[in-house]
Structure 1
Amino acid sequence: MGGDAGPEGEGGSLRGNRDFVLLWGGQLVSELGVRATGVALPLLVMAMTGAPALAGLAGFCGALPYVLFYLPAGVLVDRWDRKKVMLVCEAGRCLALGGIPVAVWAGRLTFPHLMVASFAAGTFFVFFSVADKSVVPALVPARQLPAAVAHLEARSRAAGLAGPPLGGLLYGMGQALPFVYDALSYAVSFTATFLIRTDLRVERAQPPAGLGHELLEGLRWLAREPFIRLSTALVGAINLTVEALKLTLVVLAVRHAGSSATAGLILGCYGAGGLAGALAAPRLTRRASPGRVAIVLTWLWAVLLLPLALVPPVPVLCGLAAAIAFGGPLWNVVMVGHQYRLIPDGLLARVKSVVLLVSWGTIPLGALAGGLLLDQAGARTTGLCLAAFMAAIAAAATLSPTIRAAAPAP
């Protein structure tokens, strides 16, 4: 999918699309803040408490809204002005994260405060992400959707590359600084979203029915699409594993290298691998069937996770992190492009909210399970568990006739 030169896609460059560029640029700055905080939050919790399990609990609080709010968010975003939803969410995240450095400077920061702020930011993220992913077809012509997905992947992976080292560097300069940057990044994203001119409201042929009825409408559509349903379940299991992996990498860096900058470096290599995958995705996935992508990548990830059990040195950890992350964009470009081609516009937010609930709802479990495993069993056993779980995911994909037979959408 897409052109040979990178994520320009078969529909040509998107640089002339003012509103898409605003969305892309604002979210690039915002995602840099999210990734920086993703390194800083567990480091801050471990500095306050010395307990990896509590670092996992803080991550659990931030991801718990994925389970609680994705389904109602999908119904409500299909009713509301999606631009206003995005603006409110960015303002809310700015306030939630901005309170952390204020508490640090006042000497009043507590672990419950971090949990509440993390939960609030996660809640605003849920509503923003449903709206953000639903507006792409409104901003981009259908022929440019593959290019748009690749651009969004490159944005996310670029933030994953630069954000963790930035978070580690800022944290080393002062515990509050990553959270200051994160709060300011939401203000930038708010401004960029405000400048979008396209009408992002959903046109409905009929007035909204009850929340339950509209939610069931999205669920019924998804039930009739077996590949999207099964591939979404696979993503949920994969994301659980990856979230535990990220915490494992941070703990290994702190315990074996004793440096917050090393944690940022390892997660930065994870981001570099993801960015390389995003740039290569249009070329590598052009003729790939979704089923083949699912099977090959899950087995590859299972093999790459196994060396974690050996607690390798930092250079090896960097290489493993980059190699694991390389496959993520390949998966997303194929699967998300497949979804955009099949899901009707009037059901987009509702169906995507279900997909996001399953895909992202396992993340709190991954953070919690990773923290508990590291705390109780150590890094070696955690690495073995992650590799075994990913192998089970790969076996399930391989044995599924629906996955094996899946072909690209027309």
Structure 2
Amino acid sequence: MSVTGPQTPSLWRNKDFLALWGGQIVSTLGTRISATALPLLVLAVTGSPANAGLVGAAGSLPYLLIFLPAGTLVDRWNRRRIMLVSQITACVALASIPVALWLDVFTISQLTIVAFAQGTCFVFYDLAEEAALPRIVPPSLLPSAIAQNEAKGRGASLAGPPLGGLLFGLGHAIPFLTNALSHMVAMIGLLFVRSDLQDERSAPRDSFWNETRAGLRWLWRQPLVRAAVLLVAASNMIFSALSLALVVLARRQGASPAEIGLMLGVYGGGGLIGALVAGRLHSRFSPKTVIIGVNWIWAAVLPVLAVAPNPLSLGVVAAMTSAIGPMWNVVIGTYQLTLVPNDMLGRVGSASMTLAWGVIPLGSLIAGFLLDTLGPVGTILVLALGMLLTAVAATASPAVRHAPPLPAAPAAVHIT
């Protein structure tokens, strides 16, 4: 007779995590495909980088307008239902683009509305998924789960842009139809998740505004997390502008849609490599080292993009910037998921995302303005200067310089 001890917990034996993660792989890939096609469609129809920046801003405007109230609603409403409705709504919105193209009634106004709707669906889904993750994955596996989610997104950033450019070359409607179908696949994956995705709780104990403010207060009282969120906000604004600048610069260099997709795929490939190693390496570096080091590496690499001679070299240099981002996301994400009470995860997550991602529409608008006035090379140099100032701010922050160790388990450490 043999005696077997308890099995070591593993994400790959967690059926609920695999169902959720697998569906999101397909959906995220579809999103990256259509995200590549979106500026190409605007430029093909209007030829205006400013219009491309406007549509990009509409897609990210929900980060500023909706993240904060959505967090409170996620903590009040059924998380599973929120995730399902978000996938269905995004599917319908995206399917309207190929229908309009086939009927020859497509307008930039429609694309702007669809971009805003898709961004709104992302906000609600992302907050609900993040809040549900600790209900599916034990605390000891949270860093690995966050790293796998990073790998999911970065892998989609590797494969999605080349596919987006290729599919757009075959037909302007095809990338958007593909993304619509990908949301259906993610919805089916959700149906296989059996875990209860939220704590048992009574009706809301306070007013909507007071509950929303509670998330903001929690975040603002954590100096390290607060500093990290503000630094992420600065870098997000810079990189949202950089993405459009790279597309415009590649077009100026004579790149085809497929070549632009390949460039963006190489860009995303750096992030995939970083995500694959972040889960193992995050414990070897202090939060201080990660936060300061990442910003200085970005500040050093961005100016090189201005002298890259062709789209492939642009992708390779940009990949250096994306390779180090996952380490930061794992560190900050683990802090948040282990320290925040589960019934506040939606509100605290929405507060941090409002600050960190709410500036992305501004980045898109700034990119359109700079590209029209300075051109792509001048735009990249301005963004590089902004990244240098962000790195200096990270180094000067007392909260970052005195950052405590990363918590190993819930409530193991409190940031004060």
TM range (shorter): over 0.9
Equivalent residue of 1:310, what SS?
coil
* Partner deviation per Cα, 1:167-209 (whole Å, 9 max, x = no partner): 0010010000000000000000111112211111342266432
Residue of 61, 77, 85 corresponding to 1:88: 85
User: How far 1:309 moved relative to its partner?
Assistant: 2.5
Partner of 2:338 in structure 1?
341
CA distance in 1, matches of 2:204, 2:42: 47
Amino acid in the other structure paired with 1:391: L
Residue of 22, 26, 29 corresponding to 2:19: 22
Amino acid in the other structure paired with 1:103: A
Residue of 24, 42, 46 corresponding to 1:49: 46
Tell whether 2:288 aligns with 1:291: yes
CA distance in 1, matches of 2:370, 2:63: 22
* Partner deviation per Cα, 1:42-87 (whole Å, 9 max, x = no partner): 0000000000110010000111111111111000110111000000
CA distance in 1, matches of 2:174, 2:250: 21
Residue of 317, 325, 330 corresponding to 2:327: 330
* Partner deviation per Cα, 1:198-254 (whole Å, 9 max, x = no partner): 111342266432111101111221122111111001111111111111111111122
User: How far 1:316 moved relative to its partner?
Assistant: 1.9
User: How far 1:156 moved relative to its partner?
Assistant: 0.8
Partner of 1:142 in structure 2?
139
The answer on whether the counterparts of 1:35 and 1:159 sit within 8 Å (CA) in structure 2 is yes
Select between 335-344 and 28-37 the one with higher mean Cα deviation: 335-344
The answer on whether the counterparts of 1:60 and 1:367 sit within 8 Å (CA) in structure 2 is yes
Partner of 1:259 in structure 2?
256
Tell whether 2:55 aligns with 1:58: yes
* Partner deviation per Cα, 1:286-335 (whole Å, 9 max, x = no partner): 22111211101101001100122325322321211111110111111111
CA distance in 2, matches of 1:207, 1:239: 33
Partner of 1:32 in structure 2?
29
CA distance in 1, matches of 2:24, 2:104: 31
CA distance in 1, matches of 2:309, 2:91: 38
User: How far 1:409 moved relative to its partner?
Assistant: 3.2
CA distance in 1, matches of 2:198, 2:349: 16
User: How far 1:372 moved relative to its partner?
Assistant: 1.4
User: How far 1:257 moved relative to its partner?
Assistant: 2.4
* Partner deviation per Cα, 1:103-132 (whole Å, 9 max, x = no partner): 001111011011111111111111111101
The aligned runs of 1:174-323 (5 Å cut-off) are 174-204=171-201, 207-323=204-320
Tell whether 2:392 aligns with 1:395: yes
* Partner deviation per Cα, 1:19-51 (whole Å, 9 max, x = no partner): 110110111100001101111000000000000
CA distance in 1, matches of 2:278, 2:146: 10
Q: TM-score, normalised by structure 2?
A: 0.94
Q: Which structure 1 residue ranges, 4+ long, deviate > 4 Å from structure 2?
A: none
Partner of 1:355 in structure 2?
352
CA distance in 1, matches of 2:296, 2:369: 25
CA distance in 2, matches of 1:104, 1:170: 15
Alignment length (residue pairs): 400
The answer on whether the counterparts of 1:164 and 1:264 sit within 8 Å (CA) in structure 2 is yes
Structure 2 alignment gaps of length 5 or more: 1-7, 408-416
Residue of 102, 105, 116 corresponding to 1:105: 102
Equivalent residue of 1:407, what SS?
coil
CA distance in 1, matches of 2:295, 2:220: 24
CA distance in 2, matches of 1:204, 1:217: 17
Equivalent residue of 1:221, what SS?
helix
Amino acid in the other structure paired with 2:96: G
CA distance in 2, matches of 1:73, 1:95: 21
Tell whether 2:403 aligns with 1:406: yes
For the aligned residues, what is the CA RMSD? 1.2
Equivalent residue of 1:286, what SS?
helix
CA distance in 2, matches of 1:367, 1:12: 42
CA distance in 2, matches of 1:200, 1:330: 27
CA distance in 2, matches of 1:52, 1:36: 19
The answer on whether the counterparts of 1:78 and 1:202 sit within 8 Å (CA) in structure 2 is no
Amino acid in the other structure paired with 1:380: V
Amino acid in the other structure paired with 1:84: R
CA distance in 1, matches of 2:25, 2:153: 7
Select between 399-408 and 167-176 the one with higher mean Cα deviation: 399-408
CA distance in 1, matches of 2:236, 2:220: 22
The answer on whether the counterparts of 2:262 and 2:312 sit within 8 Å (CA) in structure 1 is no
Equivalent residue of 1:257, what SS?
coil
CA distance in 1, matches of 2:25, 2:227: 30
